[in-house]
């Protein structure tokens, strides 16, 4: 067990969600969440957006506040993890028994990678206890009738596929981006959306947390996609949208640590999608549906579809490390870059791949460890948003079968030492999804007609 974890939670016994504040600053709505770890610090992270985005003429203030309160519950995860107090005190609002159980599950599973990497062995029940001191927000006279789609765009191939699949609904679509930068906004422009069609959210992490991280307090992965879920729900409500259409694939359900429930992509999983839908219906009761358009597909099938969308090939980026720089570029040294390279190389020629990434990643000896983990020969899969082991193996077999000339380093390593059979039907779609029937037909048509 991590001794620092034990020391910190003994010294800092509680974290308090004090309040959330809604202010108008110029033409923006600025929401501030106030968290405190007594004896340590106060955190005040914010999200903000233009008031011009609000198209709903019947906004219910109490419903809006309830959704914002719950966004704060998700933001709290990032600040909780720095010392993992035994008690989480909620003064900003009220949680029912169902709500407490729901959020505790999200905290625990969403922090699964964090707990694993920090060598913290603890049960969900023992992670913390809630102490609810806030007042319940009572909803009355809520009217809502939405239309069209809000499509979160991350800048990678997956959300591009969703944009293209739903392009016939373009007049009723809006894109959704948290902290627009480089690839995510450029993909929207290439899809022929303009700034008025994009819901842009500015999210600012409190610098006090960054300071604590630099001092050696606990740090690690948090379930970012759950932030996307709750903020996109708020914005769907304010912009009158009926559907929040995600781009999370079936492969996101596979555990990162094989044989456990530890999943880097937990908040992209079908389990979270179902849980979130149930939570919103119980708490808000309005007709906004959150689902992933690509849930019936594997990553390899998404890559297959994306390979035809050539106008995006120079602007999309799926590298998280590269997104942290002043420009968003492929770093070409992380497992995410390698995974995307493998998926697309199964359908695109070598010269196009090298042009896209600026080098042949199969020649990068430094990526051998990541490669071994991607094919399932390491202790874990890479802690990144990557697809299943079986589809990586299938893709590599497909690449090698059509390769001309001498195999590059990683492909040769795989062929000589690890090659095995793996069959995937690229026309097969998983039945475990929440895609509405109208959109499912579009998905089927595109998958089945790929070669035509």
> pLDDT digits over 9-50, tens only?
999 999 999 999 999 999 999 999 999 999 999 999 999 999
pLDDT for 117 equals: 95
pTM: 0.95
User: How far is the CA of 23 from the CAs of 20, 51, 128, 213, in angstroms?
Assistant: 10, 11, 32, 29
**Interatomic CA distance for residues 435 and 31, integer angstroms:** 32
Whole-number mean pLDDT of the chain? 95
**Which residues share a beta bridge with 30?**
23, 48
Compute, in degrees rounded to 10, the torsion defined by CA atoms 421, 424, 425, 431: 150
> How big is the CA angle at 277 (ends 271 and 283), to the nearest 5 degrees?
130
The DSSP secondary-structure symbol of 407 reads: P
What is the Cα Rg of the chain in Å?
Answer: 22
Span 362-378, mean pLDDT?
96
Q: Which residues pair with 130 in a beta bridge?
A: 88
- What are the pLDDT digits (tens) for 47-79? 999 999 999 999 999 999 999 999 999 999 999
The pLDDT tens digits of the residues spanning 331-352 come to 999 999 999 999 999 999 999 9
Q: How do residues 154-203 score in pLDDT, each as one tens digit?
A: 999 999 999 999 999 999 999 999 999 889 999 999 999 999 999 999 99
Distance CA(313)–CA(135), nearest Å, equals: 50
């Amino acid at each position: 067990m991590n001794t620092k974890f034990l020391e910190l939670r003994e010294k800092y016994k509680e974290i308090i969600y004090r309040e959330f504040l809604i202010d108008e600053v110029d033409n923006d709505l600025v929401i501030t969440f106030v968290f405190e770890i007594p004896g340590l610090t106060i955190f005040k992270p914010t999200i903000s957006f233009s008031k011009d985005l609000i198209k709903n003429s019947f906004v219910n203030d109490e419903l809006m506040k309830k959704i914002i309160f719950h966004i704060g519950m998700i933001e709290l995860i990032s600040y909780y993890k720095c010392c993992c107090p035994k008690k989480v005190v909620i003064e900003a609002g009220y949680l029912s028994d169902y709500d407490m159980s729901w959020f505790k599950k999200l905290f625990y599973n969403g922090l699964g990678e964090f707990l694993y990497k920090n060598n913290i062995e603890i049960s969900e029940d023992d992670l913390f206890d809630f102490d609810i001191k806030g007042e319940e927000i009572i909803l009355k006279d809520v009217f809502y009738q939405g239309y069209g789609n809000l499509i979160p765009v991350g800048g990678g191939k997956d959300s591009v596929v969703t944009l293209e699949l739903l392009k016939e609904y373009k007049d009723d679509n809006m894109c959704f981006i948290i902290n627009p930068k480089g690839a995510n906004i450029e993909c929207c422009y290439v899809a022929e959306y303009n700034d008025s069609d994009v819901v842009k959210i500015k999210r600012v992490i409190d610098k006090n947390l960054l300071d604590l991280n630099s001092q050696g307090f606990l740090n690690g992965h948090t379930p970012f996609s759950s932030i996307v879920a709750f903020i996109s729900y708020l914005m769907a409500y304010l912009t009158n949208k009926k559907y929040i259409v995600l781009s999370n694939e079936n492969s996101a359900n596979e555990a990162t640590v094989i044989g456990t429930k530890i999943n880097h992509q937990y908040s992209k999983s079908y389990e979270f999608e179902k849980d979130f839908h149930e939570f919103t219906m119980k708490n808000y009761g309005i007709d906004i549906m959150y689902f992933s358009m690509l849930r019936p597909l594997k990553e390899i099938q998404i890559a297959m579809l994306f390979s035809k969308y050539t106008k995006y090939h120079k602007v999309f980026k799926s590298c998280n490390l590269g997104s942290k720089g002043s420009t968003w570029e492929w770093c070409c040294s992380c497992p995410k870059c390698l995974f995307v390279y493998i998926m697309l190389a199964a359908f695109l020629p070598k010269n196009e791949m090298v042009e896209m990434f600026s080098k042949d990643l199969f020649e990068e000896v430094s990526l051998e460890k990541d490669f071994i983990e991607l094919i399932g020969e390491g202790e874990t899969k890479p802690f990144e948003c990557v697809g299943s082991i079986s589809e990586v193996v299938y893709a590599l077999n497909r690449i090698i079968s059509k390769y001309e000339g001498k195999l590059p380093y990683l492909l040769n390593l795989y062929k000589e030492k690890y090659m095995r059979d793996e069959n995937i039907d690229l026309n097969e779609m998983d039945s475990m999804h929440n895609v509405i029937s109208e959109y499912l037909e579009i998905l089927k048509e595109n998958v089945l007609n790929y070669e035509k």
